[in-house]
Homo-oligomer: A and B are copies of this chain.
């Protein structure tokens, strides 16, 4: 029998039931599932730490300032999601793969469609002064067979830690971006820059929160890859520079151990570094 007093009127003990009983029978079942779980966990959190009225005021102010920081160039709520591990968690839940397949990580805000497609071996750095690097490896299926015709879409920052779209007056469009397609051997190789670490935008409420948590805003140096092929799950990922000091403290928790790649100095080579990484795709 339903205890009507727990759902008709608000009580501290019956707060979850009071709120969730209000949802209409006719509402979207998935929205109901999500909101019911959200209310349950939100109330459990609030009760567990016994949020004070002053803390609630601070939270309202924090969310309001976060909203006011958002415009067409800045997404402070995504940054907030990133620094509490939520963006990575959603990515992980939606890209589960068997052991051995290359793991996903977050896309980030700097990918653009329509980067130039180059012949294998091309240099994607249109303007650069940083350390040069050859990226090399293969695209394989889970049994180790090469995948022909895989599309490799890559992008990175420049030697100062900025992507081309962040510096439209300084960097040419498509600097350090390119698309490649594998041949029968599944292999890829191209030249670019050795990525460098950079801070996420930290001049807003999220940066203030990071400061209060005693955390820095930096992401370890990484090369972005989207690897796709017909019949396989698309992999959106980075490779991380193996000697980066921020590998275990990425502000957005993007690092997975399997994505750390060696960046080896090259003696008398075309580039100063070489980084080898094989991508293993899971069937779709």
Binding site for B on A (CB under 8 A): 5, 8-12, 15-16, 18-19, 22-28, 31, 33-35, 37-53, 55-56, 60, 63-64, 66-68, 70, 75, 77-78, 81, 84-94, 96, 212-215, 247-249, 253-257
Contacts and interface: CB of A to CB of B under 8 A. Distances in A.
Given A45-B41, A84-B39, A253-B10, A94 B52 contact: yes
Contact of A85 (B25, B26, B39, B92): B39
Contacts of A86: 42-43, 46, 56
A42 B94 contact: no
A27 B213 contact: yes
A19 B84 contact: yes
A64 B27 CA distance: 24
Contacts of A91: 53
Contacts of A18: 85, 253
Contacts of A33: 49
A93 B50 CA distance: 6
A229 to B, nearest CB: 20
Given A43-B85, A213-B24, A11 B77 contact: no
Given A22-B215, A39-B84, 17 more contacts: A9-B256, A11-B92, A16-B85, A19-B84, A19-B85, A19-B253, A23-B215, A34-B55, A39-B85, A41-B48, A46-B90, A47-B89, A47-B93, A51-B90, A67-B67, A67-B68, A67-B77
A37 B55 CA distance: 14
Given A67-B66, A90-B53, A96-B12, A28 B85 contact: no
A7 B64 CA distance: 31
A259 B16 CA distance: 20
A210 to B, nearest CB: 10
Contact of A28 (B12, B49, B212): B212
A85 B15 contact: yes
Nearest to A251: B22
Contacts of A253: 10, 15, 18-19
A52 B8 CA distance: 33
